[in-house]
């Protein structure tokens, strides 16, 4: 069989194709694509540490590319970013230790899978509900408005409460808001813990956390989030690589495919209305949750065939949504119409 750097061509094509789908989703929605990598690797039978570590390395590579694209937008609060990195690093280390400990007990796969089902299912249900309701909310868009300024009415109540704790040292962030460093470290630790435990960049948790819990304006939250993902992904993959958890034969083709897909997806944002596709995105997350649940049921019942059903669900749902994005973009181009969704990635 044809091999490149010792990797069978079929594996290269499969991962590059999967990466392409994920890239289209990431480029279009600005989030969520990488969330499918770790469950897919778990379903394919990779050990938990390889699934999580390679997922993190993929997130690192993707965020390097996204950060390069956003470097000129000036939407990064470096003071906040560095503070977040400190808290996130500790959280990542603790998350990794929990995974390694659970792996020793033989429980890692089960617990990571269950957490995935709850998180993916919860976010998927929320996005689908919001899409059906017809609101523009749901999901975490990386669309940004450079001119947005902070308004006291725009700060969520929880953030106002957190900002009211004046435990020194206090940090003054962009937008003029003051927050205790300890509050920032606590939020960063919690999101880092989830990153390390699930093998995700944590953007889908950190971006809303920065906005809802700390009160950072959305454009700054997006820029700082990307900056932070680059570091948390890099540190996380380094920690896992030390335990042999990063497999380049998985990460390299995934990244090659996703970088191309991200360009297709981000080009589509200027043509297709995101709200038209959002319901598919919610359904994809729900199907992802179902896929992990099916795999767990297969393990419990000793039915190996359910592993294949699960993998088909993950690949099928990613294919469905990426296909819907490309189809809508082509349809709009042919019709000569343009959408209104701004491009961030």
Partner 1 sequence: MFGIETLGGTSQAAALVGLVFVEAMVLYVGYGVLESVLGPAVMKLLGGE
Interface residue list for partner 1 (CB under 8 A): 5-7, 57, 60-62, 64-65, 68-69, 234, 237-239, 241-242, 246, 248-249, 251-252, 255-256, 259-260, 263, 330, 333-334, 336
Nearest-approach distance from CB 249 to partner 1, in angstroms = 6
Sign for the CA dihedral angle at 300, 102, 83, 169 comes to: positive
Of 14 and 241, which CB lies nearer to partner 1 in the complex structure?
241
Instruction: Give the residue with the Cβ less far from partner 1, 5 or 106.
Output: 5
- The nearer residue to partner 1, 158 or 330, going by C-beta atoms, is 330
Nearer to partner 1, 6 or 302 (CB): 6
Minimum distance, C-beta of residue 316 to partner 1, in the bound complex (Å): 25
Closest to 76 in 3D by CA, of 173, 220, 178, 180: 220
Question: How far, in Å, are 17, 58, 189, 254 from residue 257 at the CA level?
Answer: 6, 11, 31, 5
What is the closest distance, in whole angstroms, from the C-beta atom of residue 200 to partner 1 in the complex? 16
State the nearest-atom distance from the C-beta of 218 to partner 1, in Å: 25
In whole angstroms, the minimum distance from the beta carbon of 273 to partner 1 comes to 18
Q: Rounded to whole angstroms, how far apart are CA atoms 198 and 48? A: 9
69 or 79, CB closer to partner 1?
69
Phi, psi of 71 (to 5 degrees): -65, -25
How far apart are CB 336 and partner 1 at their closest, in Å? 8
The residue (of 6 and 168) whose beta carbon lies closer to partner 1 is: 6
In the bound complex, what is the minimum distance in angstroms from residue 50's beta carbon to partner 1? 12
* Cβ neighbours around 338 below 10 Å, total: 12
Two structure tokens written together for 211: 């906005």
Nearer residue to partner 1 within complex by CB, 133 or 334: 334
Contact between 270 and 338 (Cβ < 8 Å) = yes
Q: Which is nearer to partner 1, 191 or 266 (CB)?
A: 266
Q: How far is the CB of 196 from partner 1 (least distance, A)?
A: 15
User: What minimum distance in Å lies between the beta carbon of 252 and partner 1?
Assistant: 6
Nearer to partner 1, 301 or 335 (CB): 335
């Amino acid at each position: 069989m044809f091999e490149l750097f010792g990797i069978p061509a079929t594996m290269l094509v499969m991962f590059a194709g999967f990466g392409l789908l994920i890239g289209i989703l990431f480029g279009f929605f600005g989030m969520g694509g990488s969330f499918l990598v770790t469950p897919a690797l778990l379903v394919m039978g990779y050990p938990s540490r390889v699934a999580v570590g390679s997922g993190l390395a993929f997130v690192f590579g993707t965020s390097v590319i996204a950060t390069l694209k956003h470097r000129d937008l000036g939407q990064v609060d470096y003071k906040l970013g560095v503070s977040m990195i400190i808290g996130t690093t500790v959280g990542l280390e603790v998350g990794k230790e929990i995974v390694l400990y659970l792996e020793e007990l033989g429980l890692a796969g089960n617990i990571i899978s269950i957490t995935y089902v709850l998180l993916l299912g919860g976010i998927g249900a929320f996005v689908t509900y919001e899409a059906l309701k017809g609101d523009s909310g749901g999901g975490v868009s990386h669309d940004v408005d450079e001119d947005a300024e902070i308004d006291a009415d725009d700060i969520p109540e929880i953030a106002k409460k957190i900002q009211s704790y004046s435990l020194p040292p206090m940090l003054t962030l962009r937008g003029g808001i003051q927050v205790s460093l300890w509050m920032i470290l606590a939020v960063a630790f919690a999101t880092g813990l989830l990153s390390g435990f699930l093998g995700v960049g944590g953007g889908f948790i950190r971006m809303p956390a920065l906005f809802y819990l700390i009160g950072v304006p959305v454009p700054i939250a997006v820029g700082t989030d990307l900056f932070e993902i680059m570091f948390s992904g890099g540190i996380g993959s380094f920690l896992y690589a030390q335990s042999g958890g990063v497999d380049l034969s998985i990460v390299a083709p995934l990244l090659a495919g996703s970088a191309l897909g991200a360009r297709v997806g981000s080009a589509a944002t200027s043509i297709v209305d995101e709200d038209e596709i959002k319901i598919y995105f919610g359904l994809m997350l729900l199907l992802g949750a179902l896929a992990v649940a099916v795999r767990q049921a297969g393990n419990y019942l000793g039915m190996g065939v359910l592993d294949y059903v699960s993998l088909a669900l993950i690949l099928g749902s990613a294919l469905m949504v990426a296909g819907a994005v490309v189809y809508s973009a082509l349809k709009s181009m042919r019709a000569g119409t343009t959408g209104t969704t701004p491009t961030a990635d």
